[in-house]
Structure 1
Amino acid sequence: MACRANALDRQTNASIEKGKTNLLLTNATIVTVNETRDVVFDGAMAVVDGRVAAVGPSNEVEKAWGGPSATAVDLGGKVVFPGFVNTHNHLFQTLLKGLGDDMVLKDWLSTMTFPAATHLTPDDCHAAAVLGIIEGIRSGMTCELDYMYAHPRTGLDEPILQAMDECGIRGVFGYGAMDAGLDFGVDPGLINKSDDIIKELDRLCSTYDGASDGRLRVWAAPAALWSNSESMLRGLYEVVNDHGDGITIHVSETPFDREATVAEHGCAGTECLEKLGIDGPNVLMVHCVWLTDADIKRAAAHDYKVSYNPVSNMYLASGVAPVPKMLRSGVTVGLGVDGAASNNGQDMLELMKTAVLLQKVAERDPVALTAEKALEMATIDGARALGLDDQIGSLEPGKRADFVVFDPYASPKSVPLHNPVSDLVYSSAPGCITDVAVDGRFLLRDGEIVVLDESAALREAQRCADDLCERAGITNRGSGHAWTLPAGM
C-alpha cells in the first residue's frame, strides 16, 4: 500500500530510522507521566535515534538540542502525551462490528463469534488487523496486545504480525487456542491439539520476538481457563517462561466463566492459576469482573496484572470489575478496548472516559477513579502490564519516543482547555489526535495516516467482512437484522 506522507514526514521518518537526525518538538504542553508526574507547560522534547533525549522548558531544550541536524516541529501549543497502550484486543473481530449486539457472552460466543472464527482466512486476518490498528492509531494507540485464540487453520498469525509491522505500531502478539470446552459451546472447528499449539508458540517466539527493531513480541494467549486443558495451560506457560515472555488469559469475566472453569479444573479465578503453576508477574488477566476478595489478594501476592475492559463488559452486560479494590491492593491495572465484536470500536479515548465513569457510578463515589488514573492506566500502567514499562509509558530520557499529540482546537468539545488530562479523558474527540509516533516515526501526521493508504485499507476490510459473513452464514446484517427493543416491550 502506498505511503501518502508529505516531504517533511518522509524526511523525518527516514532520518530517524537511519539514526542521523534529531526530532525536536517545540511549543507544547508535555504530560510526561514520569515518576513525579511532571507536566511541562511551554515545553519541548528532543528525540534521538527513536528515543527521548530530553524533556523540559522550550528555551532550555531548544538551546541544547536545536541546530542544523534537528528536524523541528512547532506544535503551536498542542499537548503531548505518552502513546496509549491497549492491553487487550482481538483484531480479527473488527470484521464483526455490530453483529453481536444485545447478547450475553455465552450466546455471543456460540451464535456469532465462534462461527465466524471458524471461517477466517489469512486475508481476513490481515485486513481486520490493519483496520483495527488504524482506528487505534487515530485514538492515540501506539502499542497493543492482540489476543489471537482462533486457529481453525494454519497461516492466520503471520498476517497479523505483518499488519503490526506495516502500520508501525509496537505490538504484542498473543498466540492461543483451545483444546477443551466442547460442553460449554466451543465450536469443534476451533479445537486444537495441545502439542501442535505449544510447538507453534515456540516457533513464533523464536521467529518474531524482538523483530521489527524490537517493536514485536510474542506471548501465549489461551482463550480461557475453561476452554483449555491443564496440559495445554502448563505447556504454554513453560514456553513463554523459556523465552522471557508473558501469558494473558480471560479470567472470571462472567459467572458462566467461573462455573465452567470449576467444571474443567475444580477451581476458578486466581486460585486456578495458582493451582496450575501460572503464578508469576508475567501473567496478565483479562476482565476479572467477578474476582473475589481472595482472588484479588492472590493477584497482589503473585503480582498478576489486570486488563480492565469496561466498554466490552457493559456491552455484554458482564458486570463491573472491582477496579478500586484491585488498585488499593496494589494490583497493576491497564486498559483494554477488547475485540470490536464486543465494543463496536477501537477507541482509546472513549475507553478512558468510560473506565472512569463506570466506576464512579458503580461505587457512587466521584473519586472512585479519576482522569489522572485513567491516563496512568492507558500509559505507564498499561506498559507495566505488558512488561514494557522500562521502554514506554512515559516521556522521559532514555525511553522509546512513542507519543501522541492532542489539539484541543480540533473540536469544540475540547475547548476551553483548563487541565490537559481532564480535557483528554472527559472532553476529547478522535479528531483531536493529530499526530502519533512510535520510535519517533510518525504514523499519523497532521490528521493523516502516513504509513499506508487508509482508504484502500477500509474498503478491503469491508470486502473481507462481507465475504466472511457469507461463508459463516451470519445473517444478522442488512435486511436480516431485526429491530430490537428492550426486554418486555
Structure 2
Amino acid sequence: MSNEPRGADFTPERPILFRNATVLSMDPAIGVLNGGDVLVQGERIERVGQGIEAPESAVVIDATGGILMPGMVDTHRHMWQTALRGLGADWTLSQYFVFYYLNWGKIFRPEDIYAGNLLSAIEALDAGVTTTVDWSHGLQTPEHGDAAVEALRAVPGRFVLAYGNLLGAPWEWANSAGFRSFVDRHFATRDDMLGLQLAFDVTGDEEFPEKGAFEAARELDLRVTTHAGVWGATNDNGIRLMWEHGFMKPNVTYVHAATLSEDSYQRIAASGGTVSVSTESEQSAGQGYPPTWQLRRHGIEVSLSMDTSVWWSGDLFSAMRATLSADRSREHLEAHGAGETVVHNKLRSRDVVEWATIGGARALGLDEKIGSLTPGKQADLVLIHNDRSPVMFPILHPYGHVVYQAGRGDVHTVLVNGKVVKYRHELVGIDLDRARGPVAATVEYARKEMGEQAWQQAMEPEIPETNVIANPYTYSEYRGEGVAVQHTE
C-alpha cells in the first residue's frame, strides 16, 4: 500500500475512495465484490462498485489485499466496567452478581462511570466496532448518567445509552423526576450518534412490577433491552408476563436468552423481538449454552455482543469466532446423541458476519442507516488489512477470513459517519493518554474502598462450599422458582 495518504489529508470536504478491496457489502443487491471500490462523500456512502472514478479532490486509499466491510455493531456491552478490565477473569456469573449487585456496585461514582465508558468507547472503535450499546446498569443517580453521556460524546463513535440501575427498582427510577430531567437534558432531540434505550430485567414476580418501566419506555418512545433466559436470574415467567401484559414488541432485545423454553422462543419469534448473543460470556459465566442453534430454528433475528471487559475481549472478531464454533459444537453434540453424523454445517461464516453488522443494526432499528455498504447509508465502515501479518493472505474465503483468521490488530481503517477515526492501525484524533488517568484513579479508588483482601479475592476467588442467594436483584424481594444464583464467597 505505497503512497498512502497521511492522516492530515482527511478533511470533511474531501471524498474518500477505497480502491481494489474485497468488499463485503452485506447488501444482497451488491453482494461480494472482488477488486471493489467504495466512495464516501461527507457522512454517506456515495457509490459501491468497480472502477469508480476518483473525484478530483478525493483521498484514495489503496485497499488491495484487504477486506472492506460495514462497521460492526455490539448490542450489549457494560462499558462502565471496563475500568476494571480483566478483574473477573476467573469469575462465574454468581461471583459477578456478588461483586456488582450485592457487594461493590454501590461504590462506583459518576467519575468511575466516565472512566470506564471513555476507555470502552475507544476500545470499541479500535476494534472496528462503530456502534455500541452501552448497557449502562451502573447509573445509580442521574449524575452517573450525565457522566456516561459525557464520556460517549467525547469519542467519535456511534453509541446507544441503555440506561439502567442494577441497585434500583426500574419501575421507580424510570418514572422519577431525576430520570425525566436527564432525558430532557440530553435527549430532547434525537441524535444518530447517541441514542437512548431503557435497560432492566424482569424477575418473574407475578405482580409484574416492571410494568411501570415498560410504560415509561412506551411513553418516551424508547426501545427496551433486557437480560432474559439467564440461569438463576431470569426465566420463562418473565417472558410470559411480558407477553400477557402486551409488552413483547419488535423493539425489545432479549440479551442471552440462553435458558428459555420452546414457548418463550415462540413468543419472541411471534413478537418480532431480537436476541443479543454474548457467546464468550454464556460459555464461561454460565447464563446457559449460547442459544443460536435454538434461535435459528425459530427464525429469531440475532445480533452479537461481548458483554463486559471485566471478563472478556472487547471485540466482535472474538464474538463471531466463538459463536460460530459454539453453534457447530452444539449441532455435532445433538447429532452424536442421536447416533447421527453432521455432514453439512447449517450455520455459515457469512451468517455470523451478518449478525455482527446488519443484524446489530436491525436490533437497534438502524438498518436503514447503517449495517451495510449501501449507497445512501451513513459511512460506517472498516478496512481489514495488515501487510505485517502472515495470516492476512491469501484471502480465499472472505467471510471465513473475517471470522477465523482476522483480529483486532488487522483493523487498518475505521470510518464513523464518514469521519476517519482510525488509519494505518492508529487511532485518529483520539487521545488514549486522556483515558489512562481516569481509569488509574478508578482502580486506585476501588482497591482502597474494597480493601486489599476483598480486592485479591476478586482476582482469585476461592472455591468454598456453595450457598444459595435467592435473588441477585436487591431492589426486589421476589423469591420465585428458578430465580437463584450460587453464592461462592
* Map of 2:145 onto structure 1: 157
Counterpart contact for 2:248–2:271, Cα < 8 Å: yes
Q: Identify the match of residue 470 of structure 1 among 448, 459, 467.
A: 448
Counterpart contact for 1:23–1:73, Cα < 8 Å: yes
User: Is 1:336–2:290 an aligned residue pair?
Assistant: no
Deviations 1:335-391 (A, max 9, x none): 0100222x3321211111001101111221562422111100000111101111111
Counterpart contact for 2:15–2:55, Cα < 8 Å: no
How far apart are the structure 2 equivalents of 1:299 and 1:449? Answer: 39
How far apart are the structure 2 equivalents of 1:115 and 1:434? Answer: 41
Give the AA of the match of 1:406. I
* Map of 1:29 onto structure 2: 22
How far apart are the structure 1 equivalents of 2:390 and 2:197? Answer: 41
* Map of 1:351 onto structure 2: 319
User: Is 1:46–2:52 an aligned residue pair?
Assistant: no
* Map of 1:123 onto structure 2: 111
* Map of 1:294 onto structure 2: 263
Q: Identify the match of residue 226 of structure 2 among 237, 246, 249.
A: 249
Counterpart contact for 1:290–1:321, Cα < 8 Å: no
Counterpart contact for 1:475–1:481, Cα < 8 Å: no
Counterpart contact for 1:88–1:337, Cα < 8 Å: yes
Q: Structure 1 123/313 Cα, relative in aligned 2: closer, same or farther at 3 Å?
A: same
Q: Structure 1 298/471 Cα, relative in aligned 2: closer, same or farther at 3 Å?
A: same
Pairs within 5 Å for 1:11-410: 11-12=9-10, 14-15=11-12, 20-36=13-29, 38-57=31-50, 59=51, 61-62=52-53, 66-112=54-100, 114-178=102-166, 190-192=167-169, 194-199=171-176, 200-209=178-187, 214-222=192-200, 224-226=201-203, 233-258=210-235, 268-341=237-310, 343-364=311-332, 365=342, 367-410=345-388
Q: Structure 1 353/34 Cα, relative in aligned 2: closer, same or farther at 3 Å?
A: same
Give the AA of the match of 1:384. R
How far apart are the structure 2 equivalents of 1:390 and 1:55? Answer: 16
User: Is 1:433–2:411 an aligned residue pair?
Assistant: yes
Deviations 1:247-270 (A, max 9, x none): 000001114433xxxxxxxx6242
Give the AA of the match of 1:328. R
Give the AA of the match of 2:318. E
How far apart are the structure 2 equivalents of 1:303 and 1:113? Answer: 31
Percent identity between matched residues is 25
What SS does the corresponding residue of 1:226 show, helix, strand or coil? Answer: coil
How far apart are the structure 2 equivalents of 1:11 and 1:89? Answer: 33
Give the AA of the match of 1:447. H
How far apart are the structure 1 equivalents of 2:188 and 2:15? Answer: 24
Q: In proportion to residue count, which structure has more helix?
A: 1
How far apart are the structure 1 equivalents of 2:141 and 2:352? Answer: 38
How far apart are the structure 2 equivalents of 1:227 and 1:123? Answer: 34
What's the CA shift for 1:201?
Answer: 4.4
* Map of 1:9 onto structure 2: 7
Give the AA of the match of 1:52. I
Counterpart contact for 2:90–2:459, Cα < 8 Å: no
Q: Structure 1 481/216 Cα, relative in aligned 2: closer, same or farther at 3 Å?
A: closer
How far apart are the structure 1 equivalents of 2:238 and 2:384? Answer: 39
Deviations 1:308-333 (A, max 9, x none): 01111112133213312212322111
What number of residue pairs does the alignment pair up?
451
What SS does the corresponding residue of 1:88 show, helix, strand or coil? Answer: strand
Q: TM-score, normalised by structure 1?
A: 0.85
How far apart are the structure 1 equivalents of 2:328 and 2:126? Answer: 27
* Structure 2 unaligned blocks of 5 or more: 333-341, 466-489
Q: Structure 1 255/370 Cα, relative in aligned 2: closer, same or farther at 3 Å?
A: farther
How far apart are the structure 2 equivalents of 1:164 and 1:406? Answer: 25
How far apart are the structure 1 equivalents of 2:348 and 2:74? Answer: 18
* Map of 1:183 onto structure 2: none
How far apart are the structure 1 equivalents of 2:94 and 2:285? Answer: 10
Deviations 1:246-302 (A, max 9, x none): 0000001114433xxxxxxxx624212212331211000100010111111111110
How far apart are the structure 2 equivalents of 1:480 and 1:381? Answer: 35
Q: Structure 1 482/106 Cα, relative in aligned 2: closer, same or farther at 3 Å?
A: closer
Counterpart contact for 2:87–2:458, Cα < 8 Å: no
How far apart are the structure 1 equivalents of 2:103 and 2:457? Answer: 20
What's the CA shift for 1:134?
Answer: 1.8
What SS does the corresponding residue of 1:442 show, helix, strand or coil? Answer: strand
How far apart are the structure 2 equivalents of 1:431 and 1:106? Answer: 33
What SS does the corresponding residue of 1:289 show, helix, strand or coil? Answer: coil
What's the CA shift for 1:193?
Answer: 7.4
How far apart are the structure 2 equivalents of 1:466 and 1:276? Answer: 46
Counterpart contact for 2:71–2:130, Cα < 8 Å: yes
* Map of 1:412 onto structure 2: 390
CA RMSD of aligned residues (A): 2.8
Counterpart contact for 1:202–1:239, Cα < 8 Å: no
How far apart are the structure 2 equivalents of 1:274 and 1:407? Answer: 46
What's the CA shift for 1:232?
Answer: 5.5
* Map of 1:455 onto structure 2: 433
More moved, 439-448 vs 249-258: 249-258
Deviations 1:405-432 (A, max 9, x none): 1015342233332112111100112110
Give the AA of the match of 1:307. S
What's the CA shift for 1:168?
Answer: 1.1
Counterpart contact for 1:116–1:469, Cα < 8 Å: no
* Map of 2:483 onto structure 1: none
What's the CA shift for 1:474?
Answer: 6.5
* Map of 1:187 onto structure 2: none
More moved, 294-303 vs 456-465: 456-465
Q: Structure 1 141/114 Cα, relative in aligned 2: closer, same or farther at 3 Å?
A: farther
How far apart are the structure 2 equivalents of 1:209 and 1:193? Answer: 19
Q: Structure 1 478/231 Cα, relative in aligned 2: closer, same or farther at 3 Å?
A: closer
Deviations 1:82-123 (A, max 9, x none): 000000011111123333343432332113554332111122
What SS does the corresponding residue of 1:157 show, helix, strand or coil? Answer: helix
What SS does the corresponding residue of 1:214 show, helix, strand or coil? Answer: coil
What's the CA shift for 1:219?
Answer: 0.5
Give the AA of the match of 1:68. E
More moved, 274-283 vs 224-233: 224-233
